Amino acid sequence: MTQKKYFEDFEKGFRHQYQVPGLTVHEIKEFATRYDPQRFHLNEDEAKKTHFGGLVASGFQTQLKCFEPFCRQILAGTKAVGAPGIDSLKWLRPWHPGEQLDVNIVLIGKRLSSKRDDRGYLDFKLEAEAYKTMTLTMKWVVIMLTRDGNA
Amino acid sequence: MTQKKYFEDFEKGFRHQYQVPGLTVHEIKEFATRYDPQRFHLNEDEAKKTHFGGLVASGFQTQLKCFEPFCRQILAGTKAVGAPGIDSLKWLRPWHPGEQLDVNIVLIGKRLSSKRDDRGYLDFKLEAEAYKTMTLTMKWVVIMLTRDGNA
C-alpha cells in the first residue's frame, strides 16, 4: 500500500496538469436538472435567445469536473482533512458541449497552522482553459496533516 | 405564463429563506464517488479516524444543495444570464448525514454594468445553519438583464 503524503511532502510551486473531456449535451442537462435549473443549461432553444448563443454547462459543473481529477489523482493519496473554503472562483467564459479543458493546478502558498501543530494549509490555484482561452480559475485552501505533528 | 423578473425588480435587502433536508449516507457517498472521492466522504470507518469523527458531505455537495432551491424558486423566474464568479465560500463546519440546513439568502448589493446598459450585477450572500450553527457561507454575483435596456 502506498504511503499517504503529508504537508511536508508538498513544495510551493508543485504543479499538476490534466485534460478534462468535453461534456455531452445530455450530461449538461442532467446536472442542471439536479442542481442548477436555468434555461441556458436546460434547453437549446432558450439558450440560443441568450448571449450564450447555445447550451452551456452550469458553472458548478465546470468547477466539479475540473476539481475531480485532482482529488482522485493527488488529494486522495494524502493526509488532507478537508478545506476551510474557496477564496475566489471566476467563470471567465461559458463551457460549451464537447470542449476539452486543459487544467493546470499550482501550489501557490503553504503555512503551518498557528493554533494546532499537527496540520498546515496549502493554497492551490486551478486554471482551466478551452482552446487556450481561460474558462475558470479557482483559488482554494486544503488542510493537511503534518508528519511532524502526527509522529 | 408568469412574467420573468428583471434587475429592477430586486431591491437591496431582498431576502429568501428555506430548509434543505438532511442527506442520507447513500447520497453523500454517491456524490463523493462522482466528484470528491476523499476517504471521509466515502467510508465510515476511515472517516472515524479523522477529526470529522464520521462521514461528512463533500463541501461541494453542501454548496450545491444550498444553491439549488434558490435557483429553482427565484433565479429560474428571472432574466438572469449567468454569473461571473464566487467572491467567497466558507465551509465553517462539516455537514453530517441527516442534518437539516436553514438557508438564508440576502441581496447585499446591486449595480448597473458600466460597460453594457442592458444588464446589472446582483450581489447575494447565502448563509446555511445546522442547529443554529453556521455551516456554509457563500457570496456570489448574478448577472441580470435590465427592463430598461431590453425594452
Tens of pLDDT, residue by residue over A86-100, are 999 999 999 999 999
Give the three-state DSSP class for B27: helix
pLDDT at A11 over 80: yes
What is this structure's pTM?
Answer: 0.96
What is the layout of strands, in order, in the sheet containing B101-112?
A15-20, A101-112, A119-130, A133-145, A85-91, B85-91, B133-145, B119-130, B101-112, B15-20
Q: Which secondary-structure segment (H or E) carries A134?
A: strand A133-145
Query: pLDDT at residue B104 above 90?
Result: yes
Nearest-neighbour CA in chain A from B148: distance (Å): 17
Tens of pLDDT along A20-72?
A: 999 999 999 999 999 999 999 999 999 999 989 999 999 999 999 999 999 99
Confidence (pLDDT) at A2: 73
B67 contacts in chain A (CB < 8 Å): 35-36, 60
Contact A81 B39 (CB under 8 A): no
Higher pLDDT among residues A151 and B99, named by residue: B99
DSSP assignment of A5-57: B-GGG--TT-EEEEEEPPPPHHHHHHHHHHH---HHHH-HHHHHTSTT-S---
Distance from CA of A97 to the nearest CA of B (A): 16
The interface pTM score, or ipTM, of the predicted complex is: 0.95
Domains and CATH numbers, chain A: 7-23+56-150 (3.10.129.10)
Q: Is the pLDDT of residue A129 over 80?
A: yes
* pLDDT band at A1; cut points 50, 70, 90: low
**A135–chain B Cβ distance below 8 A for any pair:** no
pLDDT band at B1 (very low <50, low <70, confident <90, very high): low
Q: Under an 8 A CB cutoff, do B38 and A83 touch?
A: no
State chain B's mean pLDDT as an integer. Answer: 96
- pLDDT-derived band at B108, boundaries 50, 70, 90: very high
Instruction: Please state, for a pLDDT cut of 90, what percent of chain B lies above it.
Output: 93
Interval B54-79 mean pLDDT: 97
Would you give the DSSP letter of residue B119? Answer: E
> Does the beta carbon of B143 lie under 8 angstroms from any beta carbon of chain A?
no
